[in-house]
Amino acid sequence: MYAESAILTRVIAPTTGNLSASAAKALLELTFPPSDIEHMNELAEKNRRGEANQQEIEELEHYSRVGNLINLLQSKARRSLANG
């Protein structure tokens, strides 16, 4: 996962604010639907209790990766808006 994260960070360059204002605003609206948030919370709780099976752990990792991607994109969006 570290390799994926490092590669995405280099590709997205979240500290480079070079997006248009409309693109940046659109990226800032990205979020998980409420049903996914509820499901993630259930998976995380099962994992904390040590009750998650391998499939559930992998699903939680997938959600985490998508969340990290969204965070990188939104960081770039915020930087772009701050740069005007």
- The tens digit of pLDDT for each residue in 4-47 reads 888 999 999 999 989 999 999 999 999 999 999 999 999 999 99
Spatial distance between the Cα atoms of 77 and 75, rounded to a whole number of angstroms: 5
Q: What per-residue confidence (pLDDT) applies to 4?
A: 87
Global confidence as pTM: 0.88
- Where helices occur in the chain by DSSP H, the ranges are 2-12, 21-28, 34-48, 54-82
Which tokens sit at 2?
């570290």
Residue 62 pLDDT level (bands cut at 50, 70, 90) = very high
Q: Which sequence spans correspond to the domains of the chain?
A: 2-82
Residue 84 pLDDT level (bands cut at 50, 70, 90) = confident
